[in-house]
């Protein structure tokens, strides 16, 4: 049950020593109650306080990190049922499975293709996160060789799937310094798999046929000292999966039921591509932290990666483009400068219209906290002063001989002030609508240059 600030305060030393970084124990208690501080910041908390407050202030779903240190995959840590309540924090990791029965060269080639698939969308690179190596052969030696082959061809994190504790241990030992996800402990092999997970310091999937069995298994594994768990309860169809995922998420977040407070894994394999995409979409929307599929084909990956990006975009944080000055077309020193904000949507619309026009320009993307033109102007982030200072600060502007800069039509009122801020520059007012950019560049800008 959640503790109030007052409940927590009663358990603190009440010396107001300030070593936790806040002036009083009461202030620290309030921070703990809002989960914006960790009890470890107070060096004087008693054992009783650590036991009671530590449990109450623990996040409802554990965050589990796996994969190589240079390319970690972070799962879980979610705190809300619906994205609009706050945000979802860690996108569903997509894992493509490969059987260890494939010839080694074929494994290498498929792993390389899966890992190198990249979809660029609104400034983000969307990729597959994990490759699952499946010990279909049942032979530990074949499994180890397959894991080595995949590791040599792909830099992403690995999921090791086998019923054999020996195969998992020997394959895991090949991956020194990284944390593969071990798949999976069941009520039958839980003790042996717990030992392997502890030995490799790797996260472990707990799998059971029902939610009740899964909760018991997770509690038992936690009791044995395996803290980083991922849960799986297979369902017969998408409707059952949706119900089950929702029940587990709700139990963790709303009822603070600790045994189910871990990221979820769904396996969506053995379907034709259309069914695969449909079923996997259900998993991404509600509430898989890891989703295993058995196709790395672009027609499957593309819709899933795009859906994932949409679901896991923070609704309170606009997608932003890195501010800077970007050449478009064959832009040279005398090509004019178009100014816009760093809201991704604005950037991509303006840049594609400029590309379509076939008129070389430099696109100056001004830091404006990801706001659109009018919103940024209203918030004082896209003023003449800010634009002038930004352009003067850009190394890419130094080699330009052009003295023409175009501001969006929606902020025509800043053109005079911008001319004052950029002595020697001619400030032109561009169109308000993106669809008018092409005719503007081809006609009015060309006429003004003549
Ligand atoms: Fe109180 Fe502990 Fe903070 Fe000191 S460090 S003010 S005892 S909560």
Q: Residue 60: pLDDT above 90? A: no
DSSP 3-state assignment of 328?
A: strand
What would the DSSP string read from start to end of 157-171? EEEEE-S-HHHHHHH
Beta carbons within 8 Å of 275's beta carbon, 6+ residues apart:
none
Which atom from ligand 1 is nearest to the alpha carbon of 45?
2
Q: Which of 8, 11, 12, 41 to mutate to test the pocket of ligand 1 (most atoms within 8 A of CB)?
A: 12
pLDDT (0 to 100) of residue 287: 96
Query: How far, in Å, CA of 31 to CA of 120, rounded?
Result: 40
Are 418 and 405 in contact by the 8 Å Cβ rule? The answer is yes
Lowest mean pLDDT of 159-163, 332-336, 434-438, name the range.
Answer: 434-438
The dihedrals phi and psi of 9, each to the nearest 5 degrees, come to: -55, -40
Distance 53 CA to ligand 1 centre (A): 14
Q: Does 13 sit in the ligand 1 pocket, CB within 6 Å?
A: yes
Distance 21 CA to ligand 1 centre (A): 8
pLDDT (0 to 100) of residue 86: 77
Which atom from ligand 1 is nearest to the alpha carbon of 23?
6
Q: Report residue 446's pLDDT band, with 50, 70 and 90 as the boundaries.
A: low
Are 77 and 61 in contact by the 8 Å Cβ rule? The answer is yes
Beta bridge partners of 89: none
Instruction: Provide the mean pLDDT of the chain.
Output: 92
Are 53 and 65 in contact by the 8 Å Cβ rule? The answer is no
Q: Quick one: tokens of 298?
A: 């672009």
The dihedrals phi and psi of 209, each to the nearest 5 degrees, come to: -75, -30
Query: How far, in Å, CA of 369 to CA of 380, rounded?
Result: 11
DSSP 3-state assignment of 290?
A: strand
Lowest mean pLDDT of 37-51, 161-175, 201-215, 273-287, name the range.
Answer: 37-51
Q: Quick one: tokens of 390?
A: 């930004």
pLDDT (0 to 100) of residue 236: 83
The dihedrals phi and psi of 176, each to the nearest 5 degrees, come to: -55, 135
Closest CA to 338 of 381, 380, 413, 400: 400
Q: Does 28 sit in the ligand 1 pocket, CB within 6 Å?
A: yes
Place of tokens 């006429």: 447
pLDDT (0 to 100) of residue 99: 98
Largest CA distance in the chain: 81
Structure pTM?
A: 0.74
Nearest CA to ligand 1 atom 4: 17
pLDDT (0 to 100) of residue 1: 59
pLDDT digits 0-9 by tens, 374-403 = 999 999 999 999 999 999 999 999 989 999
pLDDT (0 to 100) of residue 234: 86
Are 370 and 344 in contact by the 8 Å Cβ rule? The answer is yes
pLDDT (0 to 100) of residue 122: 73
Query: How far, in Å, CA of 359 to CA of 406, rounded?
Result: 14
Query: Pairing mode, if any, of strands 426-429 and 290-293?
Result: unpaired
pLDDT, greater one: 370 or 148: 148
Nearest CA to ligand 1 atom 1: 25
Buried b (16+ CB within 10 A) or exposed e, 236-269: eebeebbebbeebbebbbeeeebbbbbbbbbbbe
Q: Report residue 449's pLDDT band, with 50, 70 and 90 as the boundaries.
A: low
DSSP 3-state assignment of 362?
A: strand
Q: Does 11 sit in the ligand 1 pocket, CB within 6 Å?
A: no
Lowest mean pLDDT of 50-59, 217-226, 286-295, 423-432, name the range.
Answer: 50-59
Mean pLDDT of 209-227: 95
Lowest mean pLDDT of 78-82, 84-88, 240-244, name the range.
Answer: 84-88
pLDDT (0 to 100) of residue 4: 87
């Amino acid at each position: 049950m959640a503790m109030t600030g007052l409940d927590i305060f009663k358990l603190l030393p009440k010396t107001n020593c300030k070593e936790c970084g806040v002036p009083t124990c009461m202030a620290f208690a309030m921070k703990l109650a809002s989960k914006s501080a960790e009890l470890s910041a107070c060096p004087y908390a008693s054992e009783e306080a650590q036991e009671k407050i530590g449990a109450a202030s623990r996040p409802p779903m554990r965050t589990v990190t796996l994969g190589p240190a240079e390319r970690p995959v972070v799962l879980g840590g979610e705190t809300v049922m619906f994205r609009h309540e706050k945000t979802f924090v860690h996108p569903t990791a997509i894992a493509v499975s490969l059987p260890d029965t494939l010839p080694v060269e074929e494994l290498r080639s498929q792993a390389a293709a899966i890992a190198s698939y990249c979809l660029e969308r609104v400034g983000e690179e969307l990729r597959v996160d994990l490759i699952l190596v499946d010990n279909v052969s049942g032979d530990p030696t074949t499994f180890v060789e397959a894991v080595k082959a995949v590791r040599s061809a792909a830099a992403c994190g690995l999921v090791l799937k086998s019923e054999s504790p020996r195969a998992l241990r020997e394959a895991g030992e090949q991956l020194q310094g990284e944390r593969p996800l071990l798949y999976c402990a069941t009520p039958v092999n839980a003790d042996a798999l717990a030992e392997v997970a502890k030995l490799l310091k790797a996260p472990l999937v707990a799998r059971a046929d029902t939610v009740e069995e899964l909760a018991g298994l997770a509690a038992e594994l936690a009791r044995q000292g395996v803290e980083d768990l991922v849960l799986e309860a297979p369902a017969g169809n998408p409707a059952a999966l949706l119900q089950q995922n929702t029940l587990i998420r709700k139990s963790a977040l709303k009822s603070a039921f600790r045994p189910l407070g871990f990221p979820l894994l769904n396996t969506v394999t053995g379907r034709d591509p259309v069914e695969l995409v449909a079923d996997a979409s259900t998993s991404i929307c509600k509430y898989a932290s890891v989703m295993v599929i058995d196709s790395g084909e672009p027609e499957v990956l593309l819709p899933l990666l795009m859906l994932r990006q949409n679901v896991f975009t923070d609704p309170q944080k606009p997608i932003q483009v890195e501010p800077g000055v970007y050449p478009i077309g064959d832009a040279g020193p005398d090509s004019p400068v178009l100014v816009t904000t760093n809201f991704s949507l604005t950037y991509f619309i303006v840049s594609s219209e400029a590309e379509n026009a076939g008129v070389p320009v430099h696109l100056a993307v001004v830091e404006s906290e990801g706001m659109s033109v009018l919103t940024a102007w209203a918030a004082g982030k896209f003023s003449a002063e800010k634009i002038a200072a930004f352009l003067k600060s850009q190394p890419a502007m130094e080699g330009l001989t052009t003295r023409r800069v175009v501001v969006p039509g929606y902020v025509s009122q800043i053109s005079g002030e911008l001319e004052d801020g950029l002595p020697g520059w001619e400030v032109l007012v561009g169109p308000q609508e993106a669809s008018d950019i092409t005719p503007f560049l081809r006609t009015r800008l060309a006429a003004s240059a003549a």
